[in-house]
Amino acid sequence: MSDDVFVVLGNEVSAAAVEAGLQAHPAVAEAAVIGVPDPFVGFIAKGFVRLRPGAHATPRELVAFCKQRMPRHMYPRQVEILDQLPRTGAGEVDRVALGNQELARMRGQRFRPPHQD
Query: What pLDDT, on a 0 to 100 scale, did the predictor assign at position 5?
Result: 93
C-alpha distances out from residue 97 to 25, 27, 53, 76, 92, Å: 24, 24, 24, 18, 12
Model confidence, pTM:
0.86
Q: Domains (ranges, CATH) in the chain?
A: 5-106 (3.30.300.30)
* Chain segment 59-68, per-residue pLDDT in tens: 999 999 999 9
Confidence check: pLDDT of 85 > 50 = yes
Measured distance CA(45)–CA(39) in Å, rounded: 13
Query: What pLDDT, on a 0 to 100 scale, did the predictor assign at position 110?
Result: 60
Confidence category of residue 2, pLDDT binned at 50, 70, 90: very low
Query: What pLDDT, on a 0 to 100 scale, did the predictor assign at position 107?
Result: 82
What is the CA angle 67-73-76, rounded to 5? 50
Q: What is the 3-state secondary structure (H, E, C) of the chain?
A: CCCCEEEECCEEEEHHHHHHHHHCCCCEEEEEEEEEEECCCEEEEEEEEEECCCCCCCHHHHHHHHHHHCCCCCCCCEEEECCCCCECCCCCECHHHHHHHHHHHHCCCCCCCCCCC
Query: What pLDDT, on a 0 to 100 scale, did the predictor assign at position 108?
Result: 78
Residues forming beta bridges with residue 6, ordered by sequence position? 13
Confidence check: pLDDT of 1 > 50 = no
